[in-house]
Structure 1
Amino acid sequence: MSDTRSSHSPEPDPQDDQQETFISHLIELRERLVKAVAGVLIIFLGLVYWAPEIFNLFARPLMVSLPKGGRMIVTDVTGSFFVPMKVTLLVAFLIALPWVLYQIWKFVAPGLYQHEKRLILPLVSSSYVLFLCGVTFAYFLVFPTVFHFMAHYNAPLGADMSTDIDKYLSFAMTMFLAFGITFEVPVVVIVLVRFGVVELDKLKQVRPYVIVGAFIIAAVVTPPDVLSQLLLAVPLIALYELGLLMARFFLKPEESPEAVGGTTAD
């Protein structure tokens, strides 16, 4: 009797294919992370020689606001070395951020539709520019204003204003992050409206809550003086309004106010 067993090879297991796909994604993610970190390190190594000068530029808003005889101090044995290195690394990261975002883009782009690719690229680019605008706003306007106010506030108390460089780094990074994120508000509003997460009319209705929330956030993040809180809250509100204005141009045709409210003649 002939062998009636099938000679066909076993069908591939879908779970095996999913596992191979998952592993391949992990390998690609690792490669993208390595390239992103390498880009930051290359720029950092190119800047490390000028680390003291970079820190002096970083600390300039405070130094020019200090009263006569005021200076920065070091309370940690290794602070004078590591703090300038940290500042230089952060500068390197900001410079290399387009390269880092490009690596992220190359990883997620294959899973996006064509219309999503056309939308995300300008959004990411504008996010980077707006974040730099927020950092620049904090450095050139907020820092001099706050430090000048605090220096004059300390004068009647007879207290010497001498700040530890590590404490200044923590304060400055908190402010940079707060204002950088604040300047991302228009992008956040556009994304919420464009992808249908929240309707534009709803965002307009919650405007009073946004105004109150802006002052609450400013009170938590900034130093406890009215001036610095206003310097964060007012731009946050203005940028929210800008986001509402620009979001109209990113509505889908069927969601635009003209399409929704328009009527056709009989």
Structure 2
Amino acid sequence: MAFGINDIDETQAPLLDHLVELRARLVRCVLALLLAFGVCLYFADPILGFLIQPLKGAFADGQGQLIFTKLYEVFFVELKVALFAGFCVSFPFIANQLWAFVAPGLYANEKKAFLPFLLATPLLFISGAALAYYVVMPTAFTWFLGFEGAVGGLEIEALPTANEYLGLVMQFILAFGICFLLPVLLLLLHRAGIVSREQLAGARRYIIVGVIALAAIVTPPDPGSQLILAVPLLLLFEGSLLIMRITERKNKSKETADESGGDQDGAGDDAGDLPAIDAEA
């Protein structure tokens, strides 16, 4: 089938409209990020003080310090802190803009299906980050500081730099927050029909090995933090399988009810036709 010039122009017009809308929403996201970054930069010292608390609690009372070996190091640390905090603060607005761009192209049932995942994503990420901040980091830092002492007649003292400590904290928070999104990923794959509950249950032993390997990679090399990440991930995996089973049972019950309703309607129609046949006879 041949298309004329007018047909091509009509197909290009919606695409250009979508690109213009996408550009406008991306500009809003960037402006929101810059605004949040500026506000967080003003409060960079209190935010950095909050991030320092797990290390401060691991040191003995009145001991411990953060050092910097380059004159500009603390300045860039505060920039990183402000950017990290600014992204966390502006993320709800950024997610809202992305959803507002995608939502018009979805059907009502698709929007309803995606809504639980949108609500669960920030809650699971915050849960993982909170676990890292309040449980994992204090435990890991206490274990690391246990290596202080005298060796060969010399004192070994921990003097972490501000930049290295901030990098370690961000690694903890991002690793635990992202890993806690495992149920969202699995449930989305299941809803899309890419994987089934039977396939995931059959691959349980390989998933356990993969979770342990992932925990060893994304956390520092201490067994405590690895176990603290691996155990919740395995629990979240089993919880995802349970949700899949409940969802499948609900779908089967709904299909059975629909089929039963259809059969009853068909029987009613047949019963209504019988008097007409008898009358003709």
Classify 1:18/1:170 alpha carbon distance in 2 versus 1 (closer, same or farther; 3 Å).
Answer: farther
Q: CA deviation at 1:63?
A: 2.1
Deviation track 1:13-47 (CA, whole Å, cap 9, x = no partner) reads: 43333333332222111111111122222233333
Larger Rg: 2
Deviation track 1:108-139 (CA, whole Å, cap 9, x = no partner) reads: 11211111111212211210111011111100
Classify 1:208/1:20 alpha carbon distance in 2 versus 1 (closer, same or farther; 3 Å).
Answer: same
AA in 2 matched with 1:29: L
- List aligned pairs for 1:200-215, cutoff 5 A: 200-215=197-212
Q: CA deviation at 1:11?
A: 5.0
Dislocated runs of 4+, deviation >6 Å:
257-260
Q: 2:180 matched to 1:183?
A: yes
- List aligned pairs for 1:156-235, cutoff 5 A: 157=151, 158-235=155-232
User: TM-score, with normalisation over the residues of structure 2?
Assistant: 0.82
Number of aligned residue pairs: give it.
251
Q: 2:88 matched to 1:83?
A: no
AA in 2 matched with 1:112: L
Which one of the candidate residues 113, 121, 126 is aligned to 1:119? 113
AA in 1 matched with 2:43: W
Distance 2:233 2:89 in 1: 25
Instruction: Name the SS of the counterpart of 1:73 in structure 2.
Output: coil
Classify 1:152/1:106 alpha carbon distance in 2 versus 1 (closer, same or farther; 3 Å).
Answer: same
Q: Name the structure 2 match of 1:39.
A: 32
Structure 2: gaps (5+ residues): 261-281
Which one of the candidate residues 243, 247, 264 is aligned to 2:244? 247
Q: Name the structure 2 match of 1:61.
A: 54
Structure 1: gaps (5+ residues): 1-9
Distance 2:115 2:254 in 1: 27
The percent of aligned pairs where both chains have the same amino acid is 37
Q: Name the structure 2 match of 1:21.
A: 14
**Are 2:215 and 2:227, in contact at CA under 8 Å, matched by a contact in 1?**
yes
Distance 2:179 2:150 in 1: 34
Structure 1 stretch displaced more, 42-51 or 213-222:
42-51
Distance 2:9 2:86 in 1: 42
**Are 2:38 and 2:82, in contact at CA under 8 Å, matched by a contact in 1?**
no
Deviation track 1:51-75 (CA, whole Å, cap 9, x = no partner) reads: 1111011111112213564311112
Classify 1:258/1:119 alpha carbon distance in 2 versus 1 (closer, same or farther; 3 Å).
Answer: closer
AA in 1 matched with 2:87: F
Classify 1:204/1:259 alpha carbon distance in 2 versus 1 (closer, same or farther; 3 Å).
Answer: farther
CA RMSD of aligned residues (A): 2.3
Distance 1:253 1:234 in 2: 29
Q: Name the structure 2 match of 1:103.
A: 97
Q: CA deviation at 1:253?
A: 5.4
**Are 2:103 and 2:111, in contact at CA under 8 Å, matched by a contact in 1?**
yes
User: TM-score, with normalisation over the residues of structure 1?
Assistant: 0.86
Q: Name the structure 2 match of 1:4.
A: none
Instruction: Name the SS of the counterpart of 1:176 in structure 2.
Output: helix
Q: Name the structure 2 match of 1:143.
A: 137
Q: Name the structure 1 match of 2:269.
A: none
